[in-house]
Amino acid sequence: MNDGRGRNGRRGTAAALLAGLLLLAGCAAPGGDDAPAGSVGRGVRATLDRRADAVLRHDPDAYLATTDPGATALRTAQRRELANLADVPLSAWEYRLLRVTGRNGGRATADVELRYRITGYDAAPVTADRVVELRWEGTDGRWYVTGDRPGADGGHQLWQQGAVRVARGGHTLVLGVGRSDRELRAIARTTDRAVPAVSDAWPGRWAGRVVVLVPRTTADLAALLGSTADYRGIAAVTTGRTGEPGRNPADRVIVNPEAYGTLDGFGQRVVLAHETTHVATRARTSAATPAWLSEGLADWAAYRAEDREPARNAPELAAAVRRGALPAALPTDADFGFAGDPVRLARAYEGGWTACQLIADHWGEPELRAFYRAVGAHPERDGAVGQALREVLGTTPAEFTALWRTWLRTHLA
């Protein structure tokens, strides 16, 4: 499953930080009413830079030296968070200061973009919005952090939920909280199996590596996404940037351990291959890509290596076809809303898979991949599918829908 908000270009499943110039000695105290905004920004940035450097060096004393000495609870929480990060292989960590707001005497509020990369996996940074509150201490001539909370995207970070355990595979890095090493290693093995299968289905350029997050509970998964939605029936989601040709976006596959744990081996393989396909196709996915195509291609790649009858892969849609309730049209984006009817959701996924399977059967797998790329390259949603159908497959939306309905009758009845 692809997190819907990832289609807007960014998801905050994780965090990031920025390095800049150190505050020059002898600057006037920026907390006064007559202090220029520029000096406030430089001072806040210097504090954020020191924090970023401390995280990369895993230096708790230096990290806490940027936190208000009187903020006892915050200092305790931040010491614990830094310890939770101890085993995560970070290659970059920075805070990008976006703006300073709410200046009131010796206090300020900073909107910050937290940015980080994991060594060997992230070619682009993972980002999240943070709101950092600070207090100016004139005797020290510096700003101290008094609060740090999620920003506009609302996402929490895995290391805020507990100590992060790490399992490594040949193509996979699994980061988990509150899960056993055995469970994390099993997920790494299953994802390692998915990576070459997805590369075979999608031979286009992609990193061929996956980072998987495994939080303790379903509620913790929602917190990572900054969401209040009910994810109980969702085994995994993928987050990241879309539509960045030539770059490898920093995706995260987030496993819902409660739902994932109820699946058999086949189900777990399909789920992780599906999510890995989202990682592989991210740079070719854009706001023009409808959910039926992005989810359908991910299911197509996941089922491609499995020897199963179509009706077994699409049981809800097969049941509808057998009772004479043949769908009149391809599923809409609204049909993929997982907070609603689970049967409707299942039929939506199955509708997307059958449409992609139809293209692979009727036109060929290279044409399916070309169709996906053509839709994603369109500058806007309107007309994207129709143009790609004409230019790549030589058909029209009406003809394609009719052919799809025939495929359903033939293979699912």
What domains can be seen in the chain, in order of their start residue? 11-154 (3.10.450.50), 286-413 (no CATH)
SS3 assignment, position 133:
strand
Residue 220 is predicted with a pLDDT of: 96
Q: Is 352 helix (H, G, I), strand (E, B) or coil?
A: helix
Residue 3 is predicted with a pLDDT of 60
What pLDDT does 249 receive? 62
Sequence letter at residue 193: R
Give pLDDT, residue 52. 98
User: CA–CA separation, 97 vs 27, rounded Å?
Assistant: 19
Please compute, for residue 377, the number of CA atoms within 13 A of its CA located in the half-sphere on the CB side: 12
The CA distance from 313 to 68, in Å, is 56
Three-state DSSP state, 275:
helix
147 in Cβ contact with 135 (< 8 Å): no
Residues 176 and 214: beta-carbon distance below 8 Å: yes
Q: Specify the pLDDT at position 341.
A: 83
Token output for 234: 């969702």
Q: What per-residue confidence (pLDDT) applies to 229?
A: 85
* Entry pTM: 0.87
pLDDT of the residue at 40 = 86
Rg (CA), the chain: 24
Task: Output the pLDDT for position 10.
Answer: 34
**Cα-based distances in Å from 411 to 4, 353, 360, 361, 393:** 30, 13, 14, 12, 21
Which stretches in the chain have pLDDT values below 70? 3-37, 241-249, 339-340
